[in-house]
Amino acid sequence: MREERTKDISEEMWARLFYRSIYGLTCSSKFYQARLSIIHEAREMGFTHEQIEAIESAFDQVEICEPKTIRITLNWGEYPEDLDSHLVEPKVDRDGQFHVWYSNLEYYKENNNGTKTFAADLDHDDTDSHGPEITTIHVLTPGEYNFYVHDYTNGSGIDSTAMASSGARVTVEYPTLSGTERKTFDIDPASRGTLWNVFKISIQGLVGIVNIEKIDTYGDYAGSPIDEGGYSYDDDSGEEDYPQDDDDDDGYSYDDDDDESYGDSAFALKNKETA
Ligand SMILES: [Ca+2]
Ligand SMILES: [Ca+2]
């Protein structure tokens, strides 16, 4: 792994990374699970996106790849500068839902028996145009998943046309019985709003039959299923699962003039890294 992107990583850092990664494994783990464990620990240790990409490409070169994943890629044009990927998915124990996004890059579940399940991740938050942002579902837990794109630059605005002009495109690659399929979704240039509900993924049964259904509706971030100010995903009670019906007017409201009222909304709290 000697290359430009990893030249700033010391031998000691490498050693620490691999040592820490061992604890993400069991005696029956496969090589691709070692790959996931290393990526997870690299993120925990603060490796940069470029460094992690370099590690991934080293694994690709020796063909240590995951057998079955769903990969969602978001690309767009120059403006708005910051679109965001949001995946809402069933928890691996199927008790409620989980949200993978810039504020929660990994869904890495520690199981009761000490094993870990790396269920999904977002590779990084692109904040300076074009993307790509790549969301990967590593464990095909049966259930329903929704993928959204949010125009962070323009925040909240039901009438905004900025995202409509962004040229945003989402590509999803997913496994089928005969190989890998790919579907592409382009933003409607006549749409309005800062939230694009792109598609729904349904995964059925233990063999993981994947079905992708186009949604293509537009709206506002505030009060939506991905607004963490409105709903909670992280507790394990399973009592606060958000309603599946996007049209549900649940009465959640906020005051545009009062920053406090956003509560824990990611949209208000986003602490962007500046390059
Ligand atoms: Ca972004
Ligand atoms: Ca960029």
* Spacing, Cα 174 to ligand 1 middle (Å): 23
Structure tokens at 36: 């996931």
pLDDT digits (tens, 9 = 90+) for 116-149: 899 999 999 999 999 999 999 999 999 999 999 9
Distance of CA 166 to the CA centre of its chain: 20
Q: Is the pLDDT of residue 265 over 90?
A: no
* Spacing, Cα 36 to ligand 1 middle (Å): 23
Query: Does residue 231 belong to any structural domain of this protein?
Result: no
* Spacing, Cα 111 to ligand 1 middle (Å): 30
Q: Tell which residue, 120, 111, 78, 106, has the closest CA to residue 93.
A: 111
Angle formed by the axes of helices 31-44 and 49-61, nearest 10°: 170
Q: Is the pLDDT of residue 16 over 50?
A: yes
Q: Is the pLDDT of residue 258 over 80?
A: no
The count of domains in the chain is 3
Do residue 149 and residue 84 come from a single domain? yes
Do residue 35 and residue 140 come from a single domain? no
The more confidently predicted of residues 154 and 112 is 154
Q: How many CB atoms lie within 10 A of CB 193?
A: 24
Ligand nearest to the CA of 275: 2
Residue 36, judged by CB atoms within 10 A of its CB (0-12, 13-18, 19+), counts as buried
* Spacing, Cα 155 to ligand 2 middle (Å): 18
CATH code at position 19: 1.10.390.10
Q: Which helix (H) or strand (E) holds 18?
A: helix 11-22
Do residue 45 and residue 129 come from a single domain? no
Percent of the chain with pLDDT over 70: 82
Ligand nearest to the CA of 124: 1
* Spacing, Cα 85 to ligand 1 middle (Å): 7
**Strands 143-151 and 83-90: what pairing?**
antiparallel
pTM: 0.83
Ligand nearest to the CA of 86: 1
3-state DSSP assignment of residue 85:
strand
Do residue 82 and residue 103 come from a single domain? yes
pLDDT digits (tens, 9 = 90+) for 208-220: 899 999 999 999 9
Q: Which of 14, 38, 61 lies at the terminal end of a domain, its last residue?
A: 61
pLDDT digits (tens, 9 = 90+) for 60-105: 999 999 989 999 999 999 999 999 999 999 999 989 999 999 999 9
Range of the domain at 265: 242-274
Residues near ion ligand 2 (Cβ under 5 Å): 126, 128-130
